[in-house]
Structure 1
Amino acid sequence: MSDSGIGDFEFERKFFVRDMPAVAASDPSPVLIAQAYLFASDGYAVRVRLQGPAPADLDREVSDLVTALGDDAIGTMTAKGPAAGGTRYEAERELDPLVAGQIVTRAAHVVLKIRSSVWLGEDGWVIDRFLGGNAPLVLTEVERDGPVVDLAIPSFCTTEVSEDDRFRNEYLAHHPFGGWAEAYGRELDLIGPRFVDSLGQNQFEGT
């Protein structure tokens, strides 16, 4: 949920990453995020999320991972609207973590990921390494209190997917990346990297 004070909107840009960037290791406290999508259609979605400190052993069933989050877990329920121009309606409210955990473990469409947070230049970035059926997907996002313009884009960002609905979590919950990763790799090799050019001047690291 945005803290901009102008309502329940988020302003973010999202990028596909081919390989896990080394800078992710600088986060001493990565978190495990388990989120269930109870509804998703035409850009609208209802999500229940449980998150907490990432356990060392990630090779477990969803229910075991939820249990491993323990008393430090945070639960939320979020309603989302369609995205346009890097802006999306997102109303997020706290949810009892015990209730959130029970919903997640019973849901049919769940996304699991490890999130690392780093500060690069003037922006805070999150790097998400997806687990389960969405492995080996890695995405990175930057969020601001207003439109993300004139962005300094790190070199590990392969291509921008802010406007590619396939990389929204609700889509990944129903169509795990592992099933179409090879096809996307061929597509990316064919069309090359692309970046949104309607949000000010992009600045690329090393140029």
Structure 2
Amino acid sequence: MGREIERKFLIKESEWAKLDKPGGKHLRQGYLVSDPNKTIRVRTTDDNAWITIKGISVGASRLEYEYQIPLGEGLELLDNFAEAELEKLRYEIHHQDKLWEVDVFLGDNNGLIVAEIELDSEDEKFELPEWVAEEVTQEKKYYNSNLTKHPFKLWKINVQK
């Protein structure tokens, strides 16, 4: 059984901007199925593609099954079957023997930056990098599948009212 234990955080943009980081990978991500109990997602980079099936989140955990597929098929699935899509640049940052994946969102989610860390257990201890701000693991609006339906640009409009 595949299980993902992941926590999400917002970042301190001023600290993130100062960080010496590797180049980001461009990701295109689309949802074939997106409902509260499960998602089926296709993700592509310039060179690879994956199909991922995720179950409902309970705390920071959920079932997850991910399989690499041919890039051409991934692009075909996105172009012909995705109900909704998003794009982002992903940066992989190592801190204290842990891998942090930082997503800088593009398009309708431009301006949103989210850092994720995968853990071996829900109670695993880890050190927060200086560029990490508040935790948003339990806030569903930060789920990628929800960002395709309710993008960050609409949040800003609501905040300004």
Question: Shorter-normalised TM-score: what interval?
Answer: 0.7 to 0.9
What is residue 133 of structure 2 aligned with on the other side? 158
- Counterpart Cα distance in 2 of 1:39 and 1:121: 36
TM-score in terms of structure 1 length:
0.70
Mapped pair 1:49 → 2:43:
yes
Q: Which amino acid aligns with 1:133?
A: D
Larger Rg: 1
Is 2:108 the counterpart of 1:133? yes
How many angstroms does 1:111 deviate by? 1.1
Residues 70-128 of structure 1 deviation map (CA, whole Å, 9 limit, x = unaligned): xxx11111111111121111111121110111222343411100001111113111111
* 1:94 corresponds to: 68
Q: What is the identity percentage for the equivalent residue pairs of Structure 1 and Structure 2?
A: 26
- How far the C-alpha of 1:12 sits from its partner, in A, is 1.2
| Kept after mapping to 2: 8 A contact 1:11/1:148 | no
For residues 43 and 165 of structure 1, what CA distance do their matches in structure 2 show?
12
Q: Which amino acid in structure 2 is aligned with residue 15 of structure 1? A: F
Contact map agreement 2:100 2:117 (CA 8 A) in 1: yes
Match of 1:120 among 95, 107, 110: 95
TM-score by length of 2: 0.88
Shift of 1:43: 3.7
User: How far apart, in 1, do the equivalents of 2:160 and 2:114 lie?
Assistant: 14
Describe the SS at the equivalent of 1:180. helix
Residues 6-27 of structure 1: CA deviation (Å, up to 9, x unaligned): x311111100125261365421
Q: CA RMSD in A?
A: 2.1
What are structure 2's unaligned runs of at least 5 residues?
none
Do the aligned partners of residues 85 and 23 (structure 1) sit closer, same or farther apart at CA in structure 2, a change above 3 Å counting?
Answer: farther
1:80 matched to 2:54? The reply is: yes
Specify which structure has the higher proportion of strand: 2
Q: Is residue 24–residue 117 contact of structure 1 (8 Å, CA) maintained in 2?
A: no
Secondary structure of the residue aligned to 2:13 is coil
Q: Distance in 1 between matches of 2:19 and 2:56?
A: 29
Q: How many residues align?
A: 159
Give the SS at the match of 1:178.
helix
Partners in 2 of 1:182 and 1:120 — Cα distance? 35
Partners of 2:132 and 2:39 in 1: CA distance: 26
CA distance, structure 2, for counterparts of residue 170 and residue 98 of structure 1: 22
2:21 to 20, 26, 30: 26
Q: CA–CA distance in 2 between the matches of 1:181 and 1:172? A: 13
1:40 counterpart = 2:14 = no
Cα distance in 2 between the residues matched to 1:23 and 1:33: 23
